[in-house]
Structure 1
Amino acid sequence: MSSTPAVPLIAVAHGSRDPRSARAVAAAVAAIRTRRPDLDVRLCFLDLSAPSVDQTIDTVAVQGHSAAVVVPLLLGRAFHARVDLPGLLAAAALRHPGLDLVQAEVLGDDDRLVEAVRDRAVAAGATLGDPEVGVVLAAVGSSSETANARTAAIGPRLLAGTGWSGVATCFATAGPALPEAVSRLRSRGAGKIVIAPWFLAPGLLTDRIDATADVHAPDALRADVIGAHPLLAEVALDRYRAGAADLFTAVRTELSA
């Protein structure tokens, strides 16, 4: 007996004017497809890149699908995850009453993504057991001190299992900035600085961080963004599976009502 086909996974990324960002996210989504070749995976963007969320959902509906799981490829539950995307999905539900949509959890600060950043730092030249290594975890930043504190709390987790002298967090759009983070690490005895982006994809903000590093830490090693790391695909598929379970639970509840 044939199994029921899985519902589509709609991966939603932030979007950027920088074409490198879309390419990096597309590579990450390609890695998801490689892990699940049986799954219909669509990529769309909240802003500045195409296709849009609306365009992708409309296409899914026109093609006859009755349900889909929307996975936000986001590292935090800020405005886009809490307000913007739910609003888009609510409007889509009105346009397509026969299409059930469920928004899965964001990727967030999953331990596997922290591990992916550690892998990127090692690939850039940071030896795990080297006590001279100090890592600058470079993130977007927020107007919310609580959100910035959550990001800063990733530092000790990134340090776990290494011999590095420390991890200091900096932000591209808030304080502390990169020079302060580098100064903190050097005061702890770090002789080798590694800048590790807490970003899924490159763009204008990672360029801003790099430009600051060119001035204040020109010898620092530069780690890559998380990008198409295999663990990102793993986390995204876990979010999809949880969302699909919620979707089928809701459908069963409606049928039994």
Structure 2
Amino acid sequence: MTMRGARPVLIAVAHGTRSASGQVQIRELVTRVARQRPGLDVRLCYADVQRPRVGEVVDGGVVVPLLLSAGHHVRVDIADAAAGTPAVVAEPLGPDRVLEESLTRHLPAADAVVVAAAGSKDPAWRASVEQVGADFGAPVAYASGSDRKVADVVAALRRRGARRIAIAAYLLADGHFYRTLHRAGADAVTPPLSLDPAVASLVLRRYDLTMALSRL
């Protein structure tokens, strides 16, 4: 994956989505990454849903998970794909202050904020999302699963007297989970994080740090 004298390829691994708009948003994010670093070979693959899958692509380079926490896809799917190859795996994009600053920039004035994430049973994943909520001083709710659903948390805030509620969408791209947030009863929802130009710079920061630590 790396030519002699060339920088190691950046392999961006997205979750994958059936949403056409979400697919476009992720491709555009990867395009912005490539434009910020002319000459760097940047390739896109997926942990689930779409192809090519990460196991079909990785045989070297720096793997950057386009994921917001170190859950199952990072610890199992991506790690397994990189095992036995010269590839090195970067930390996922989140949690990171860049993402929190993006959410803050797009939050309108509100009486209450709910940090909304996709949902997972993975303890490490949940801990990282809960930390984001703690940083915001806001409750965390989930778009999937059986506990703390976004609509239920929004309704509880209404009962407590909140007149204007904003959802900080801790989601990278449009898709089923993101769209449910617009039906959760809040007054505003922040845009998918991949639309923020700062996230492309964050991807490159993960690449550069991994290069430095690995001495590639």
Deviation at 1:139, TM superposition (A): 0.4
State how far apart, in whole Å, the 1-side matches of 2:214 and 2:133 are.
35
TM-superposed CA distance for 1:207, in Å, is 2.3
- Identity %, equivalent residues: 33
In structure 1, runs of 5+ residues without a counterpart are: 59-66, 94-99, 160-166, 250-257
One of 126, 132, 153 as aligned partner of 1:154: 132
The partner residue of 1:168 within 132, 139, 143 is 139
Q: Is 2:86 aligned against 1:103?
A: no
DSSP 3-state at the match of 1:227 = helix
Q: Distance in 2 between matches of 1:53 and 1:208?
A: 28
Alpha-carbon RMSD across the aligned residues, in angstroms, is 2.2
- 1:116 aligned to 2:102? yes
Residue 32 of structure 1: CA displacement?
Answer: 1.1
Q: Matches of residues 221-232 of structure 1 in structure 2 within 5 Å?
A: 221-232=188-199
1:102/1:246 contact within 8 Å kept? no
SS in 2 for 1:170: strand
Q: CA deviation at 1:145?
A: 5.4
Closer, same or farther: CA 90–19 of 1 in aligned 2, 3 Å: same
Partner of 1:33: 34
- Structure with the bigger percentage of helix: 1
Q: Deviations 1:97-137 (Å, cap 9, x if unpaired)?
A: xxx2111111121011111112232xxxx14xxxx432221
In 2, distance between residues paired with 1:153 and 1:87? 27
What's the TM-score, normalizing by structure 1?
0.74
> 1:145, 1:12 → 2: CA distance?
21
Give the letter aligned to residue 87 of structure 1.
D
Asked if the contact 1:29/1:228 (under 8 Å) is kept, the reply is no
**Number of aligned positions between the proteins:** 211
User: Which of the pair has more CA radius of gyration?
Assistant: 1
Q: Aligned equivalents of 1:168 and 1:27: distance in 2? A: 31
* Shift, 1:38, TM fit: 2.7
Deviation per CA, 1:189-248: give whole Å up to 9, x if none: 53211122100011112223333x2xxx2x611221101312211221111012212332
